[in-house]
Structure 1
Amino acid sequence: MSTTSLPISGSPPPPTTGRTTLRPFKAPPKSKSDWLAPAILTAKTITAAVECAPFPYIKGVPGTVLVLLETVVAVKKNREDLEELCNSATEIITILHDQIKSHGNTAAVKFKGLCEELESYLEAVILAIRNMQDQSKGFRGRVKEFLKASNLTDEIAGYQTQIQGLMAIVETNFKVDEMHAIITAPSFAVVKAVENINNCPPPSRIFQGRQAILDKMHQFFDTDSGEQHIYVLYGLGGAGKTQIALKFIEQSSFSDVFFVDTSKVKTIETGLKSIAISKSAGDSAQDALRWLQSNHSKWLVFFDNADDPKINLNDFLPKCNHGNIIITTRNPDLRNYGAHTPVSDMEEADAITLLLQRANKESSEENLKLATETVKVRYLNNTIHRSLITPAGIVLPAPCHYPGGAFISKSEDLEGYLALYHSNRVRLLSEKAAQSHDDYAQTVFTTWQISFNQLSHLAVTLLQLCSFLHYTGISEDMFSTASKYGFPSWSPPREELQEPLKFLSHFVEPTGEWNSLKFLDVTNEIKAYSLISFDVKTKLFSIHPLVHAWSRSTLLDETPLQSSMSSILGMNITQISQNEIQLASVRLIPHIVLLKSVNPNGVADFRRVFWKIYYEAGKFRDAQDIAEQVLEKSQLILGEDDPNTLVAMHNLASTYYKLGEFRKAMELSVLVLEKRTNFLGEDHPETLLVMNNLASTYHDLGQFQKAKKLKVLVLDKRTTILGEDHPDTLFSMSNLASTYHKLEEFQKAKELEVLVLEKHTKILGEDHPHILLVMGNLATTYSDLGEFWKAKELEVLVLEKWTKLLGEDHPDTLFAMGNLAQIYSNLGELQKAMELEVPVLEKRRKLLGADHPDTLLAMGNLARTYLGLGEFQKAKELEVLVLEKRTKLLGEDHPDTLLAMGNLAATYSVLGQFQKAEELDVLVLEKRTKFLGVDHLDTLRTMANLAVTYHRLGDFNKALGLEVEVLQKRRQLLGDKHPDTILVMKNLVNTYQKLGKQEEMEELQQLIEDTKKSS
């Protein structure tokens, strides 16, 4: 765990007593001979110096000594009776400061119990002196009697001896040769203390926003319910709970306002005692409660920092049906006391305003832009998230990824702050503003360290492990499933997984069963300090981004825990079934991305399963990097023919396929198929898997007959071996249907897809990813059969489900979006088509790159829509680009290249560039006739396009010959009612008219009318 050294030089911030439960007295002017002056100077200096310490007990003792000295200052006479007592206390804090200055927080830990005991003791002394001061008669006698009876100076001398003994131990442990002298800094002004503990300090002068919470509080306290009003503000330390409460109090009119530090039982009791004393109602906490219970005025008690879950706050609440209470806490369980509001992040606009105020920057256009960019910090994977800003994060120097107004104010560099933060995170988290706008003296580091120190070792470990995951979407299942890890053949050896297994064993019964109750106990412990939160509906944990980033900074060495969390995640993924892996990938990919970003080499042992998550999440470029690493390592260690090497080779081939690098995929798949056939036989499931994937590669290379032959073979074997209801058999059916579709055997494709959809739905349910793939394919087939309304209805449903399951940016979602756009185009709803196609193109460019086949497909589709909308130049520019890229990537004979060529020819024709159109159409027709045959629909579509071009060139006879042939074949293949058939009929009518063939024209017009009626 990292430590923070205390500042011992420079210009420290204005000191405070650090104690809001004791009422400091204003010191009268002191003469040079006043023995208290140097003691007070020393106490002030040390109190300021320890403000950065992340341990509250270190701050407490010097602050309490300062209050003791100022209390003695207020004694009008006989101060010398307390001189020895005061000098001993001052010497104690000098010794403490020496050790902390020399050895940092590590040495400070050794003083923990002593400091807490001494602080409590000194508070009792202060209270006794004040009570004696209130009784003016016989002060010296009472002091001497008190000192004698309590033997105070001996007690303090005893503390001094203990500290000196500890000092010797620390010196030995840390091997320090000599003690450092106490700093001799010049005196500086002390922040004006609150005159009375029961009067709350004002809120920060730059308090900003939170109006919704304030309005809710005003409405609550203004309502006369006939019961006691209790309002709880809960949330992460530094979120602004206290400031909201103080702002509300400033805006309200209560007869009495009492402030009680609720961090410890003794501070609560001291605060309540002060209420009793200030109201002359006694001198005990019970006296205060009795006064509150009997007084029906409009009083308010502000219980601040009720963070310790071990304190039963109910013991200190007045038992009555009147009065008003505000509680601020990190413990969400205190919500049960009354009305409540979680306090978390500021709204973005308020955060920007507060940042500029704290940074002392004017609201110029440039500064607003910089502040907005600083507030909207890129957190992970270059994804912009909603502003997650705590007020402490704005006012204090550097809460993780968010703006540090105090630091910016000092450095005057708003533009460069974030870059500076990333390289100096831990120091900036620990830095405290020199000039404070309120009494909140803790750094961001300190705020959370206080809570962190209260956690058990197991809770600390869990929180630190989770700091290597994404800050949202953390589930118990990640750990429970990992505990069932089965050590497959490729697994790291058990000895390398000792640490994660040891951690998981805390929650595993001797029977091997996961104990959710034990896990719940640990998470509840962390939740009690608002360091994590839990969503009951989703059953997921989350950590505030600031705490998430900070918790990693508590580690001196990240590697062991990062490695353990990486292994736990890998063990978890290994246990996920193939049917669930795609949905799991959506949940897990943010965690793996973060793990990899922290330590790219830390995921080595489980790269194979992490590849699967990247692959299923559609992050194919990242998947390629991992697949290549795994294959290289496997070839080196296991050899070319090892089954694990063949799996790695097959995974890399699948990744190449998804990246559109079909030739690379084919080369690897052919090699893997050959080896698996030799080693396992032709009927082995893994051989059939490779055969199926190779067939898909042939399909995308435009070699449809090769693809069909392999796919039919795979389907026959899987049906025989596994049965027709097995998921692998159904998958083969879908693949074969896609090839039937390319071969324009649409009816065969439809029959297979309907059958697959029926069986898949029965087995997997309606929302499973496999179901959606089949539904999307069937929608495309309906579209190609001219059943556009059926296609639209199905594709709208598919898009809704993909978006919900995988998000808007997943490749499968984008594929569905593109398909729906094509259906809209077929229905003539071109504006709707364009509204879908533009974002599809933008997202594919970003996710897949400008040259990916899917990107080029989206570009071509958008060009066709632009053409239909009359934006001819836009269409031409896109189509020229598509043709250039496809020719380069696929060759000029590839079906997709020919499609781009034909589309560009159609655009040239519309633009009146008929010669260019003719040249391209003739070339496309020649190649399609050669590769696809004269009856293929793509060939017929080219004929129709060339006919249109001839028509526009005035060569009506050439147009006529082509259109007659196209009509004859389309009627035969598609029927009279298909839109493509009707379109060529209309074109032929125009050609008959141009040639003066009246009889043929009227006959064809009648056929069109009859077809419309029958439809």
Structure 2
Amino acid sequence: MSTASTPTSGSPAPPTTGGTMLRPFKAPPKSKSDWLAPAILTAKTITAAAECAPFPYIKGVSGTVLILLETVVTVKKNREDLEELCSSSTEIITILHDQVKTHGNTAAVKFKGLCEELESYLKAVILAIRNVQDESKGFRGRVKEFLKSSSLTDEIAGYQTQIQGLCSKLKLMAIVETNFKVGEIHAIVTAPSFAVVKAVGNINNCPPPSRIFQGRQAILDKMHQFFNTDSANQHIHVLYGLGGAGKTQIALKFIEESSFSDVFLVDTSKVETIETGLKSIAVSKSVGDSAQDALTWLQSNHNKWLLFFDNADDPKMNLNDFLPKCSHGNIIITSRNPELRSYGAHTLVSDMEEADAITLLLRRANKESSEENLKLATEIVKELHYLPLAIVQAGAFISKSEDLEGYLALYHSNRAKLLSEKAAQSHDDYAQTVFTTWQISFNQLSHLAATFLQLCSFLHYTGISEDMFSTASKYDFLSWLPPREELQEPLEFLSHFLGPPGEWNSLEFLDITTEIKAYSLISFDAKTKLFSIHPLVHAWSQSTLPNETSLQSCMSSILGMYITKIPENEIELASVRLIPHLVLLKSVNRDGAADFRRAFWRIYYNAGRFKDAQCIAQQVLEKSQLFSGEDNLNTLEAMGNLASTYSQLGEFRKAEELQSLVLKTHTKLLGEGHPITLVAMGNLASIYSNLGEVQKAQEFEVLVLEKHTKLLGEDHPSTLLIMGNLAQTYSDLGEFTKAEELGVLVLKKRTKLLGEDHPSTLLAMGNLAATYSILGEFTKAEELGVLVLEKRTKLLGADHPETLRAMANLAVTYHTLGDFEKAQGLEVEVLQKRRQLLGDKHPHTILAMKNLASTYQDLSKQEEMEELQQLIKDTKKSL
């Protein structure tokens, strides 16, 4: 048998560059006596041309096709049984020849893998033919035996299908543009979507999950349960969530653990990539060469196939167009867009469990799980908020630097750089870093949506509400508030959400937030009606700011405009919600920002942040005195605010001095019976009470209550406030029956007007509980005290001054009941938090020391008692 690799006599010379291009060989009709001769001639010509090219894999496959054809020549009868296989092989090398002739090196690299695969298959076919010819029976007889043997039939059919698949694949690859870089083409050729299917066997063109995959067991268990449930319906499961949360890795891990007849991975980032992926399914299954062919095949195939649509992130794309329309099959979709939940079962993929996050970090960092390393890793994953991609990036950096201990310090000063740095060595195919993956999504947002997200980066990442923006749009341009000309930017931004009458349009706001939610850059809690941002997205968003000063001033103004519209009876609860935003904003003193310091003082004061409130109150007073004068009502308001703040800080003499001046000036300007004068009088009475001048306090409070009741009625909040203060004063004077009567009345009215959960109601409840305790009605006192503490902790938080007051009062009740252990537990916490919030010299802190020392004495804890008593003495000396 000849294995000539050069043209025989009479053969045309190899074509040179620019010559006529050879067309794919087409087998003649079977009625003709011999179809092999022109096929062999074409193969010889192409093989000779391949000898002149520097691509051994093309030369190798061309020569192997020629060997196949010359082997088939030796089959004397019924060689038409191999005609289709030979025709496909010749067609492949003809197309290869044309592609290399036209595109040179680019095409050669592009088809390298296909050439090697085809050569391997052809050698197997040649060997099979030779084995058949070695038998005593003729080829025809051997073919009949093949048909009787399922294994041999499958073998021949398998080779035939493989080569047909390669030919179809080659045609698809040939139409792909070849003016890419060689590296890009090589990536396309070797991508999983171009995998060739064996006739006997399954497709699984998915890469394995990361070698350091960790955790996510709850999600995997949920998916296994879902896909293993018998159902007459198609199984669709959507994994959705923030970019970098690990959706694709979870899907790949699930696929690795499962058993499907075929698994098809489709890049769903664009319509074009979906169509290409579906086409490759059709080609690999030899059912056509279009996306619709693939869908038709899937719809008719009742095997347990799985279609994996990865990265379906484009909210404008209708994925339903590409879902097989049938009641069978399995589909996994990964997406940043929560709207895709509508397709079926769904799971939010968010942050990792702490233990799994620690293990992942140490594995990627190549660090052992020692006690010290576990401690360091715990702090790192907390700082990274348990986001998988961030943890993997941190681990990669630590692996390179070999400095686990020093990572957090570097992270705090170089966060953007570290979260944007791609590791040279990776354990999966994810190409983006933490910051770049979100930047891709951010770039898809409209200008208004992007601006909204950037403004929110100046707020705390939780507790963002539509109400903040809608209420700000109703801002009143009053004389003591910033004028319109200072609020151009916030007014312009808010105008995008106003309808023609100037009213807030929630639908416009919904459109913008929905646009951002589609990329999981912001989340919404339907129960609380609050938006939140992942802490790392929040930090990344700040790094994208084009004009930080302008945006920060704009958000500061919007927040200030909102606060000015909060009613007084809602301010305490609002302050608890808003204080995290205000603390983060840090724009009170920013140059160029509209001056909303009066509004910000309200929040700091009612949130119990008295030191911050004092700083702001002093600034406001100084500015008002400078520009408005001493007797201006705005100046007097600022003076009264500072006096109230001094009182809360325990500086009662400073408070008395200022508040006396406020009352004197108000009386002169407005008269003794004016509501503002009465408020000033009531505030001074409270200061006298704190100073221990209870008789003075009573005189003022009786007078104020009488005038308030006459002017405003006995159900007015201000009247009830004075009534509650007077009840406390009666208690201080030892008139407990009067105190109880007034306390019961105030509680009843506040519960009716405000509800039992309102802070003012709880204040009245706490005061009454204290009175019951003094009266010896300990059961009532304990019952009310426990209720007040529970509600205040829930509403105001564990650190709020009013919560600590409720805790201290309940501790006194427990102490009186002889339950010293319970009293001690509460008093230790009260003292610790008051020292932190108010300092050692504050009267409330000193009182907490005394109460705890007394409890220590009753518990016979002599050493602890003496230590605390010495601290009290030292503190009083320094006053």
Q: Output the TM-score relative to the length of structure 2.
A: 0.79
Say yes or no: does 1:254 pair with 2:260.
yes
Q: Which moved more, 1:509-518 or 1:211-220?
A: 509-518
The residue identity in structure 2 corresponding to 1:627 is A
In the TM superposition, structure 1's runs of 4+ consecutive aligned residues that sit over 6 Å from their partners are 30-33, 72-75, 130-133, 188-192
Gaps of 5+ in 2: 1-49, 58-91, 111-162, 196-203
SS in structure 2 of the partner of residue 843 of structure 1: helix
In the alignment, is the contact (CA less than 8 A) between 1:562 and 1:602 conserved in 2? no
> Rg: which structure is higher?
2
1:592, CA displacement in angstroms? 0.6
Report the Cα distance in structure 2 between the residues aligned to 1:750 and 1:845, rounded to whole angstroms: 32
1:76, CA displacement in angstroms? 4.9
The residue identity in structure 2 corresponding to 1:82 is T
**Once the two structures are superposed, what CA deviation does each residue of 1:932-961 show, in whole Å capped at 9, x if it has no partner?**
xxxxxxxxxxxxxxxxxxxxxxxxxxxxxx
Residue in structure 1 matched with residue 222 of structure 2 by the alignment: 216
Tell me which of 459, 469, 480 is aligned to 1:479: 469
Say yes or no: does 1:618 pair with 2:590.
no
Say yes or no: does 1:689 pair with 2:679.
yes
RMSD of Structure 2 on Structure 1 (CA)? 3.2
The residue identity in structure 2 corresponding to 1:475 is S
Identity of aligned residues (%): 71
- Structure 2 counterparts to residues 139-538 of structure 1, below 5 A: 194=192, 196-197=194-195, 199-377=205-383, 388-396=385-393, 404-538=394-528
Report the Cα distance in structure 1 between the residues aligned to 2:734 and 2:327, rounded to whole angstroms: 81
1:315, CA displacement in angstroms? 1.2
Say if 1:31 and 1:726 are closer, same or farther in 2 by CA, change over 3 A.
farther
The residue identity in structure 2 corresponding to 1:357 is R
**Once the two structures are superposed, what CA deviation does each residue of 1:718-759 show, in whole Å capped at 9, x if it has no partner?**
122222222111111111121111111111211211221222
1:642, CA displacement in angstroms? 2.1
Say if 1:598 and 1:133 are closer, same or farther in 2 by CA, change over 3 A.
farther
Residue in structure 2 matched with residue 82 of structure 1 by the alignment: 102
The residue identity in structure 2 corresponding to 1:836 is L
Tell me which of 154, 164, 167 is aligned to 1:134: 167
1:873, CA displacement in angstroms? 2.5
Aligned residues: 734
- Structure 2 counterparts to residues 857-1006 of structure 1, below 5 A: 857-886=847-876, 888-889=878-879
1:308, CA displacement in angstroms? 1.0
1:360, CA displacement in angstroms? 2.0
Say if 1:615 and 1:818 are closer, same or farther in 2 by CA, change over 3 A.
same
Report the Cα distance in structure 2 between the residues aligned to 1:348 and 1:263, rounded to whole angstroms: 31
1:643, CA displacement in angstroms? 1.8
Report the Cα distance in structure 2 between the residues aligned to 1:349 and 1:855, rounded to whole angstroms: 39
Report the Cα distance in structure 2 between the residues aligned to 1:769 and 1:865, rounded to whole angstroms: 29
1:228, CA displacement in angstroms? 1.5
The residue identity in structure 2 corresponding to 1:77 is H
- Structure 2 counterparts to residues 414-813 of structure 1, below 5 A: 414-596=404-586, 605-813=595-803
1:357, CA displacement in angstroms? 1.5
In the alignment, is the contact (CA less than 8 A) between 1:303 and 1:326 conserved in 2? yes
1:200, CA displacement in angstroms? 0.2
The residue identity in structure 2 corresponding to 1:676 is H
1:595, CA displacement in angstroms? 0.3
Report the Cα distance in structure 1 between the residues aligned to 2:473 and 2:594, rounded to whole angstroms: 20
In the alignment, is the contact (CA less than 8 A) between 1:259 and 1:302 conserved in 2? yes
The residue identity in structure 2 corresponding to 1:624 is Q
**Once the two structures are superposed, what CA deviation does each residue of 1:641-698 show, in whole Å capped at 9, x if it has no partner?**
2222221111111111111111111121122222222222222222222221111111
In the alignment, is the contact (CA less than 8 A) between 2:840 and 2:846 conserved in 1? yes
Report the Cα distance in structure 1 between the residues aligned to 2:53 and 2:631, rounded to whole angstroms: 93
In the alignment, is the contact (CA less than 8 A) between 2:165 and 2:284 conserved in 1? no
The residue identity in structure 2 corresponding to 1:233 is L
Report the Cα distance in structure 2 between the residues aligned to 1:865 and 1:415, rounded to whole angstroms: 43
In the alignment, is the contact (CA less than 8 A) between 1:356 and 1:363 conserved in 2? yes
1:250, CA displacement in angstroms? 0.8
Say if 1:74 and 1:300 are closer, same or farther in 2 by CA, change over 3 A.
farther
Report the Cα distance in structure 1 between the residues aligned to 2:434 and 2:587, rounded to whole angstroms: 24
In the alignment, is the contact (CA less than 8 A) between 1:261 and 1:304 conserved in 2? yes
Say if 1:271 and 1:744 are closer, same or farther in 2 by CA, change over 3 A.
same
The residue identity in structure 2 corresponding to 1:480 is S
Gaps of 5+ in 1: 1-29, 38-71, 91-129, 161-181, 378-386, 397-403, 890-1015
SS in structure 1 of the partner of residue 494 of structure 2: helix
Report the Cα distance in structure 1 between the residues aligned to 2:413 and 2:736, rounded to whole angstroms: 60
Say if 1:419 and 1:224 are closer, same or farther in 2 by CA, change over 3 A.
same
Report the Cα distance in structure 2 between the residues aligned to 1:493 and 1:426, rounded to whole angstroms: 38
In the alignment, is the contact (CA less than 8 A) between 1:242 and 1:328 conserved in 2? yes
Residue in structure 2 matched with residue 826 of structure 1 by the alignment: 816
Say if 1:646 and 1:250 are closer, same or farther in 2 by CA, change over 3 A.
same
SS in structure 2 of the partner of residue 333 of structure 1: helix
1:426, CA displacement in angstroms? 2.8
In the alignment, is the contact (CA less than 8 A) between 1:595 and 1:602 conserved in 2? no
Q: Which moved more, 1:358-367 or 1:765-774?
A: 358-367
The residue identity in structure 2 corresponding to 1:585 is S
Report the Cα distance in structure 1 between the residues aligned to 2:590 and 2:377, rounded to whole angstroms: 32
In the alignment, is the contact (CA less than 8 A) between 2:165 and 2:283 conserved in 1? no
SS in structure 1 of the partner of residue 585 of structure 2: helix
In the alignment, is the contact (CA less than 8 A) between 2:269 and 2:313 conserved in 1? yes
**Once the two structures are superposed, what CA deviation does each residue of 1:82-140 show, in whole Å capped at 9, x if it has no partner?**
237959x99xxxxxxxxxxxxxxxxxxxxxxxxxxxxxxxxxxxxxxx99982799x9x
In the alignment, is the contact (CA less than 8 A) between 1:73 and 1:79 conserved in 2? no
1:767, CA displacement in angstroms? 1.5
Q: Which moved more, 1:205-214 or 1:708-717?
A: 708-717
In the alignment, is the contact (CA less than 8 A) between 1:500 and 1:564 conserved in 2? yes
Residue in structure 2 matched with residue 47 of structure 1 by the alignment: none
Report the Cα distance in structure 2 between the residues aligned to 1:229 and 1:606, rounded to whole angstroms: 55
In the alignment, is the contact (CA less than 8 A) between 2:381 and 2:391 conserved in 1? no
The residue identity in structure 1 corresponding to 2:355 is A
Report the Cα distance in structure 2 between the residues aligned to 1:483 and 1:810, rounded to whole angstroms: 30
Say if 1:605 and 1:81 are closer, same or farther in 2 by CA, change over 3 A.
same
Q: Which moved more, 1:343-352 or 1:848-857?
A: 848-857
Report the Cα distance in structure 1 between the residues aligned to 2:473 and 2:573, rounded to whole angstroms: 21
Report the Cα distance in structure 1 between the residues aligned to 2:169 and 2:607, rounded to whole angstroms: 79
Report the Cα distance in structure 2 between the residues aligned to 1:627 and 1:739, rounded to whole angstroms: 28
In the alignment, is the contact (CA less than 8 A) between 1:782 and 1:791 conserved in 2? yes
Say if 1:682 and 1:725 are closer, same or farther in 2 by CA, change over 3 A.
same
SS in structure 2 of the partner of residue 328 of structure 1: strand
SS in structure 1 of the partner of residue 595 of structure 2: helix
The residue identity in structure 2 corresponding to 1:204 is S
Report the Cα distance in structure 1 between the residues aligned to 2:265 and 2:519, rounded to whole angstroms: 22
SS in structure 1 of the partner of residue 419 of structure 2: helix
